[in-house]
Amino acid sequence: MSSLLVERTTRGLGDAVMLSSTVSSLRNTLGAEDVRVSVSEGLQPVFHHNPDVDVLTTPALADREVDVVADCSTACAVYETDNQPLIDKNRPQVWCEAAGQVWDRSPPRLYLSAHEEAEAERFAHPLPRPIIGVGYASVDEWRNYPYMRILIAKIGAKLGGTTVLFHDKHPKLWGKKTDVRLCVAEPLRSYFTKAAACDLMVSPDTGHIHVAAALGVPVYIIDGPTDGALRMEGYEVDFERPPRYEHCGRQPSWYQHCDPCWCLHSLRPEVIIHGVERLWRRTRYGLGT
C-alpha cells in the first residue's frame, strides 16, 4: 500500500482532533507510505507537525488518484443517529470501519512545535497553579452547562490558582473579572499552546475536551446527555465526569435529549468541583486513574 487520502468535508474542531486517530490507525493498518488529509482550511492547523500526515489539502483541491480514499464525512452521523441512544462506538472506530479497517486504538494527538512548547511554558510560568482551563460552551447549545458562570467562580474560590476561560467570542455581560484569564477567538495554534499550558481542562462535551486530551491535559467532561467515557475512549489522559444522573433516567440520551436537558440542569456546581478536586489531586501527585 503506497497512498491514502483521509477526507472530512464537515465542520467540527473536536471531530478534526479525533480524525487524527483515524489517520494514524489507517496509516498503520494499511502500511501507507504517502498519507494525505483533506479538510477545510480552517481545520488544517489541527494537523500541523503531525508525523503521520504528508500532505494537507482541501476537499476542493484533493488529488483522489490514490490507492485508498477514506471518506470520513458522514459515517458517524449515520451510525450515531441510527443507533442512538445505544451508541457504543467512538468516532475513530466508526471512521476506520467505514474504510473497511479495524481501529488500532491509536490515540488522537495534537503536536506542538518546539517554539510552541516554549510559548506554553512562558504562558504558564507567571501564573499561580493550578491552571484550570475552562471551555465555556459548545456550538451545540443543548450540551452546555447552564451554571457555567457560577462554576467558574467556585473553581477559583475552591482551588485558587488561575482560571483560563476559552471561548470563540467574549461571554456576554462578563465584565472585568481580574481572577479569570480570557482567551477569546484565538487562532487555533495559539489556542492549542495555551490549552497545553493548563493543568486541567473543564468543559462541556465539545472541542475543548478533545483539544486538551490530545495535548495530554487531564479533563473533566461535563457530559450530560452524551457519554463521556465513550468520548474519552482512546485518549491517553486521566479524566473525570459527573456521576450518573437519576432525575430522568435516560442518560446517555444523545440527540434525543430532554428539552431542557434535566441531567445538566439538575447537576450542582459543587458536584463538579469535587470531581475537579479529585482530578487535580491525582494529577498533582501523579496518581493516574
DSSP letter at 72 equals: -
Q: Tell me the three cell numbers of residue 103.
A: 481501529
Q: How confident is the model at residue 174 (pLDDT cuts 50, 70, 90)?
A: low
Q: State percent of the chain over pLDDT 70.
A: 96
Per DSSP, the three-state class of 81 is helix
Residues 88, 91, 92, CA angle at the centre, nearest 5°? 115
CA distance 169 to 111: 25
How far apart, in whole angstroms, are the C-alpha atoms of residue 224 and residue 148?
14
Residue 176 clears pLDDT 80, i.e. is over it = no
User: What string of DSSP letters covers 246-261?
Assistant: -SSS--S-GGG--SS-
pLDDT in tens, 184-209: 889 999 999 999 999 999 999 999 99
Q: Tell whether the model's pLDDT for residue 28 goes beyond 70.
A: yes
45 pLDDT higher than 90? yes
Please give the Cα distance from 173 to 168 (Å, whole number).
15
pTM, to two decimals: 0.95
Residues 116-151 pLDDT 10s: 999 999 999 999 999 999 999 998 999 999 999 999
Domains and CATH numbers, the chain: 3-98 (3.40.50.2000), 117-284 (3.40.50.2000)
Query: Amino acid identity, residue 163?
Result: T
Q: What's the whole-number mean pLDDT along residues 225-247?
A: 92
Per-residue pLDDT averaged across 38-67, rounded?
Answer: 96
**Nearest-CA neighbor of 73 among 37, 28, 120, 44?**
37
pLDDT of 286 strictly over 80: no
The whole-number pLDDT of residue 13 equals: 95
pLDDT of residue 173: 53
